[in-house]
Amino acid sequence: MSKIIVLKCVGHNPKDFELDEAVAVQFGCIKDLFHSDFDAESKIVVDVPMKFNSYIIGRILEFCSSRASFSSDRAYWEQDFFHPCREPNQRKRKELIAIMEASEYLGMESLVELTTQSLANYLKGKNPLTIRSLWKVEGDLTAEEEAKALAMGVAKLGH
Amino acid sequence: MGFSAGKRKSRDEAVTLSDLNDDVLERVLSHLPTSSYFRMTSVCKRWKSTQTSTTFKLACSRVPSRDPWFFMIAKDSTSSSSSFVYDSTENSWKNLNRSLLLRHRRDFTPVASSGGLLCFRSSVSGDFLLRNPLTGSSIDLPWQDDNKPLQAVAMTTSYKLVTISGEVPNLCFRFYESSSCSWSKEFELVMKNNTEDGDDTETVYFLSKSGNVVVASNTLLRTPSKQYSSVITVKDNVETVYFLTSHGTIIACDLAKRSFTHLPKLLPPFLEYSIDLVECNGTMFVVLLSEFYESASLRIWKLEDMNWVHVGMLPPAMSHELYGRKGDINCVGGAGGNKILVCFNADLPQVCCRYFVYDLVGEEWSELPRCFKDGEAVEFVSALSFQPRIEATV
């Protein structure tokens, strides 16, 4: 009697994930499918873009099913699920960005909120040069533009 | 399962933020504390471009609250050519960009603040000016002079400016709302009788230190920074404006019921004291500096069912240093935060300015370091608190 949504992941480790309603309604892009007009017994297959591999989708579903009945909980995300650290290694950074992008694609608002906050915490208080080297962002401002940007708004005073 | 080192080519791909789509990037940057965000605009062109993006400002407006910054008011506000703020996130003094200052408007003094906006009033024309100190976005609000003395100016978020004028018992209020872009008509405030009403004009005598009988002075000396010292609280949709009278008593104006009452006195009138009001998270607090028994105490009180409840006190060792200086305190609540900033300033025996912060949650006191610019100390008498929001517009 229950509708089943299947997330089909391709790529290195192809895998199909079956979602029940409680989990699927957390995905903004999928929940409408439950209200559309089709046979109660049928299965709907959703193709997930290649860049979101099965590991990441698996992690997201892990998050959803354990918190399916609660609203997004920051304490849970930080302590039990994501384990943030001051200087995240490459693997951790990659995982955070992948989960962030995948949850944005799938329309999982609460997880987008949590992941963007976590990423902001990694960036906060750091020197722009450090940010560029750590997160591989190319600095394309001229020296003058850069100096102007740093002077804009606020300049720190000594004490 | 997962990423095991060395097995796949994708492992060598560096982690980069360059591929993030605009929406996600803007959401990440909107979560940064404002100081950090300004620094990040120097990383690359794309990040800098968020500063003028409407969607970025929308993302910022969804951040529920930001740690307050304190906009400091110097002793001699007309001579200062810079604006100083204290960043409570990074715990440091900062200088606001000169081009955003009120260069041509020296007669404007800061009187109120709410959310990301500051309110200034011209001492010449009485006109108001609302401004976002970070972006310079501002609006002039002309004031219609009705020859009634202005008692209080208060502001609530997005935004509503309330003024109380007149002399007790004939008070009235008026407001300006951003939604209507105009001043409302004047509303009369009716005095509600307080059963405990003592006779304000009773003469009190006391014995001074030198053994003389002296008449107690009932008039509170008001420094310009405290002229319209008032706060507004909004609880269950009821707006209440509290302000200090020249006698040092507090009047509470219920804007919904259009009435006002005198709050019970905190101290007998013959004690030396300085008093100020703050608002924190919808509650009004009173900060009181008093001298008694050869020492000074700095206490914070709040009103509960028309009774004063003691909330906190500066450690006696610290408050004793304020004794005998005839100092004045000007206080402000951290906009949306749980902190109260007390600016103490005195001229005797030498100029002394100190800034204490009380954390209502942790029940802890701390002191701000002195501010230096080009090697010289900058002294402040008062402050306004605001949330550093680049999206706040008038």
This prediction's pTM: 0.85
Domain co-membership, B193 together with B237: yes
The C-alpha R_g of chain A, in whole angstroms, comes to: 20
The answer, yes or no, to whether ipTM is higher than 0.90 is no
Domain co-membership, B302 together with B277: yes
Name chain A contacts of B24, Cβ cutoff 8 Å. Answer: 100-101, 104, 112, 116
Name chain A contacts of B10, Cβ cutoff 8 Å. Answer: 12
Position B9 in a domain: no
Position B394 in a domain: no
Domain co-membership, B48 together with B194: no
Quote the minimal CA–CA distance from A42 to chain B in Å.
30
CB-nearest partner of A146 from B42, B134, B373: B42
Q: Which two tokens stand for residue B165?
A: 């004028």
Domain co-membership, B117 together with B76: yes
Q: Which two tokens stand for residue B343?
A: 């600016």
Are B372 and A157 within 8 A, CB to CB? Answer: yes
Domain co-membership, B242 together with B341: yes
Comparing A86 with A139, the larger pLDDT belongs to A139
Position B8 in a domain: no
Domain co-membership, B94 together with B214: yes
Are A154 and B23 within 8 A, CB to CB? Answer: no
Domain co-membership, B381 together with B275: yes
| Per-position pLDDT tens, chain B of length 394 | 455 444 444 444 677 888 888 999 999 999 999 989 999 999 999 999 999 999 999 999 999 889 899 999 887 655 455 688 999 888 889 888 655 555 566 778 889 999 899 999 988 888 999 999 888 888 999 988 888 889 999 999 878 999 999 988 899 999 999 888 889 999 999 998 765 555 454 555 556 666 666 555 555 555 666 788 899 998 888 999 999 887 778 999 999 999 999 998 887 666 668 889 999 988 999 999 988 778 889 999 998 888 899 999 999 999 988 888 888 899 998 766 789 999 998 887 788 899 999 999 999 999 999 988 888 888 898 999 999 999 998 8
Closest of B215, B320, B326, B327 to residue B269, by C-alpha: B215
Domain co-membership, B23 together with B142: no
Are B27 and A94 within 8 A, CB to CB? Answer: no
Handedness of CA A144, A149, A155, A156 (dihedral sign): negative
| Count of structural domains within chain B | 2
Are B45 and A90 within 8 A, CB to CB? Answer: no
Domain co-membership, B107 together with B147: yes
Domain co-membership, B276 together with B131: yes
Position B26 in a domain: yes
Domain co-membership, B32 together with B91: no
> Which residues span the domain enclosing B22?
17-59
Position B206 in a domain: yes
Beta bridge partners of B384: B71
Position B370 in a domain: yes
CATH number at residue B188: 2.120.10.80
Is residue B244 a contact partner of residue B330, using CB atoms and an 8 Å limit?
Answer: no
Domain co-membership, B229 together with B346: yes
CB-nearest partner of A117 from B21, B31, B95: B31
Position B392 in a domain: no
Name chain A contacts of B94, Cβ cutoff 8 Å. Answer: 154-157
| pLDDT digits 0-9 by tens, A55-90 | 888 888 888 777 644 655 667 777 667 776 777 778
Quote the minimal CA–CA distance from B321 to chain A in Å.
22
Position B75 in a domain: yes
3-state per-residue secondary structure call for B22-90: HHHHHHHHHCCCHHHHHHHCCCCHHHHHHHHCHHHHHHHHCCCCCCCEEEEEECCCCCCCCEEEEECCC
A55 to chain B: closest CA residue: B2
| pLDDT digits 0-9 by tens, B339-378 | 999 999 888 778 889 999 999 999 999 999 998 888 888 8
